Amino acid sequence: MADGIRVAAVKCLKNCMTPEICPNCGAEVPRKAKACPECGADETTGWLEDAEAGHLGLPEEHFDYEEFTSREFGSPSPKPHGIHWFWWVIAVLLLAGMVMFLLR
């Protein structure tokens, strides 16, 4: 059993490249590392070339910015169409009060 694992590891060392990102935990793996520094994954536990990293939640090759912003922030908030009439009345009353104070 141990010889089979050793043969598979040697065969993979010759044919497999160390991944830049661990397919098991997503951590960065140094070049020529024999195991992941975070989770300990290696050739015998999951570094095969056909290993999938889909469960890590990594972004896809194609990135749609519009879809991302709508998903993160929702639809854009409605823009106001001007100042409400109430604030115009307040502004006129304040100006009238200031003019009456100055003319006194």
Count up the domains in the chain and report the number. 1
Alpha-carbon distance 52 to 46, whole Å? 9
Alpha-carbon distance 21 to 45, whole Å? 15
Residue 64 lies inside a defined structural domain of this protein: no
Residue 93 lies inside a defined structural domain of this protein: no
Alpha-carbon distance 53 to 43, whole Å? 15
By C-alpha distance, which of 49, 62, 1 is closest to 23?
49
Two tokens at 36?
């992941």
> pLDDT digits over 60-74, tens only?
677 788 888 888 888
Residue 92 lies inside a defined structural domain of this protein: no
Residue 40 pLDDT: 78
47, pLDDT greater than 70: no
Residue 95 lies inside a defined structural domain of this protein: no
Residue 14 lies inside a defined structural domain of this protein: yes
Residue 81 lies inside a defined structural domain of this protein: no
Give 48's contacts (C-beta < 8 A, 6+ positions apart): 12, 16
One-letter amino acid for residue 99 of the chain: V
- Owning domain of residue 38: 1-58
Residue 75 lies inside a defined structural domain of this protein: no
pTM reported for the whole predicted model: 0.31
By C-alpha distance, which of 61, 26, 32, 66 is closest to 46?
26
Residue 73 lies inside a defined structural domain of this protein: no
By C-alpha distance, which of 67, 51, 40 is closest to 12?
51
31, pLDDT greater than 80: yes
